[in-house]
């Protein structure tokens, strides 16, 4: 049985970007907004299954623009979401002697250029590293976010603002409605649901092209990566610390507040598969790819390599792994940049596709959505 509801805007996807966008539209336009979320709760996919890093720019010495935007957005995010941010740990970036895309001098110069605080690590920390493999270690200012707290706060704010949230509702296709706006065909536990709105925002991240393909619209060039982030109990030396070894086939370990553990990723071993969206006839649904993946953990490879640079990693205890599809723009392959995707009238007037690369990009997205519908 089909039912119809009218909204000023429909946001498809209840991740961090979708929720913040819905609140922004509701507050700035006094619009009637609905969020369609496939899962039974908000922030259950990419917003949760990541390293929970609030970027301040340090991670991107090969992309000055990405570093600058992160450094600009970092204090804003840290202040607005202070109750959801863990800043009570020390953060260190180390530069390897070999196979690194930057030297220690270049890294420090990059930090100075983007205005990111950086100073030499204390000797007690430097002694944790292998001096034969690590050129230098720096103390930086970087935080972690708690996705569970973000979820609870966003839910409360959306309910208070009057944003309608439709859980366990999967958008199947978007088209032109008879009334002149857009129609969204969705599937719920009770059957199919027809919704109409003046504007529709596709914030489905890895599934951006799935919605476009089902709607007979051109695909957006995207790269997908099947990823594993390990969750570990770290040794005492790292309990209140985060370490990132860069910039090459290296690793990072940092607090993961939502579980009270540390996350461990490795540039080489975190990736379990890569594919691109190009030909609609050869399109592969990222969620299906993830669901049917073998999920054989590479934690042992991650930690074994990390031990060479940071010997105390040998005492890590493996707890779990987060499996997800990470989606980025193809340009990121070349310069490690993390621009957002923002495409208005994406094959259909009134349909906007948005894909955020990292959580601090949220303000770049908001800047795009300033004009009334």
Note the Cα 32 to chain centre separation in Å. 27
As to burial, measured by CB atoms within 10 angstroms (0-12 exposed, 13-18 middle, 19+ buried), residue 42 is: buried
- Structure-block tokens of residue 373: 């519908």
pLDDT of residue 57: 95
| Residues forming beta bridges with residue 137, ordered by sequence position | 94
Q: What is the mean pLDDT of each successive set of 10 residues along the chain, which is 373 residues long?
A: 71 98 96 97 96 95 91 96 98 96 96 98 98 98 98 98 98 92 95 95 97 96 96 98 93 98 97 91 94 96 98 98 94 73 95 93 87 49
| Residues forming beta bridges with residue 54, ordered by sequence position | 143
Are 184 and 197 in contact, with CB atoms under 8 Å apart? yes
Q: Given phi > 0 = left and psi -120 to 50 = alpha, else beta, which region is 57?
A: left
**Cβ neighbour number for residue 315 with a 10 Å cutoff:** 14
Instruction: Give the Cα separation of 352 and 196 in Å (integer).
Output: 15
pLDDT of residue 207: 97
Are 363 and 77 in contact, with CB atoms under 8 Å apart? yes
pLDDT of residue 334: 63
Entry pTM: 0.94
pLDDT of residue 4: 47
Are 181 and 196 in contact, with CB atoms under 8 Å apart? yes
Instruction: Give the Cα separation of 321 and 256 in Å (integer).
Output: 12
Are 252 and 242 in contact, with CB atoms under 8 Å apart? yes
CA distances from 158 to 3, 23, 32 (A): 24, 6, 12
């Amino acid at each position: 049985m089909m039912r119809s509801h009218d909204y000023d805007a429909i946001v498809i996807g209840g991740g961090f970007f979708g929720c913040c966008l819905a609140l922004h539209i509701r507050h700035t336009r006094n619009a009637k907004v609905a969020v369609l979320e496939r899962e039974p709760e908000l922030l259950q996919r990419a917003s949760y299954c990541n390293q929970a890093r609030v970027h301040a720019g340090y991670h991107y010495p090969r992309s000055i623009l990405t570093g600058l935007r992160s450094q600009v957005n970092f204090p804003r995010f840290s202040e607005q979401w202070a109750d959801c941010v863990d800043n009570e740990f020390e953060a260190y970036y180390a530069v390897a002697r070999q196979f690194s895309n930057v030297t220690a001098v270049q890294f420090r110069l990059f930090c100075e250029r983007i205005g990111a605080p950086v100073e030499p690590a204390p000797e007690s920390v430097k002694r944790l590293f292998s001096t034969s493999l690590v050129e230098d270690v720096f103390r930086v200012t970087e935080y972690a976010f708690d996705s569970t707290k973000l979820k609870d706060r966003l839910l409360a704010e959306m309910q208070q603002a009057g944003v309608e949230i439709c859980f366990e509702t999967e958008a199947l296709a978007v088209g032109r409605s008879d009334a002149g706006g857009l129609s969204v065909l969705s599937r719920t536990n009770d059957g199919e649901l027809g919704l109409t709105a003046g504007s529709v925002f596709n914030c489905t991240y890895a599934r951006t092209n799935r919605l476009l393909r089902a709607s007979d619209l051109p695909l957006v060039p995207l790269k997908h990566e099947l990823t594993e982030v390990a969750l570990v109990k770290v040794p005492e030396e790292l309990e209140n610390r985060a370490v990132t070894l860069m910039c090459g086939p290296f690793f990072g370990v940092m607090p993961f507040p939502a579980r009270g553990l540390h996350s461990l990723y490795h540039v080489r071993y975190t990736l379990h598969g890569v594919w691109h969206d190009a030909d609609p006839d050869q399109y592969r649904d990222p969620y299906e790819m993830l669901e049917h993946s073998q999920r054989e953990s590479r934690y042992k490879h991650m930690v074994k390599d990390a031990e060479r640079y940071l010997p105390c990693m040998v005492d890590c205890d493996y707890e779990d792994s987060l499996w997800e599809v990470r989606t980025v723009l193809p340009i990121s392959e070349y310069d490690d940049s993390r621009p957002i995707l923002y495409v208005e009238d994406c094959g259909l007037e009134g349909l906007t596709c948005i894909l955020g690369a990292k959580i601090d990009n949220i303000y770049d997205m908001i800047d795009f959505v300033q004009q009334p519908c």
